[in-house]
Structure 1
Amino acid sequence: MLAILLVLLVILLLFGGGFALHLLWWIAIALLVVWLLGFLFRSGSGSRWYRW
């Protein structure tokens, strides 16, 4: 019985982790696109539209 519970717990963790990692990849891609657009469309004076 304990082995079945451990297997179910591992499956649940892997499924949850996989979903969270998939979501984090999409967020990272979106932030990369915004960052690249910031380089492409910045003003010629060299000032940045962000503070970091």
Structure 2
Amino acid sequence: MDAVPGRLNQMFVKIDRTGIFYGQCREICGANHRFMPITIEVVNLKTYNT
């Protein structure tokens, strides 16, 4: 499923604080894809709705 063009994979995560979190992909579904950086920005609901 990860390699289907146009498909958006989603998941729910409960994070208790706002901020920007950094990581990297851990799946090996293509050349050097496992090193792809990932950024998650967590905002409060009021900011998200605006």
State the TM bucket, normalised to the shorter chain. Answer: under 0.3
Which is higher, the Rg of structure 1 or of structure 2? 1
Report which of the two has the higher share of strand.
2
**Could you state the TM-score of these two structures normalised by the residue count of structure 1?**
0.25
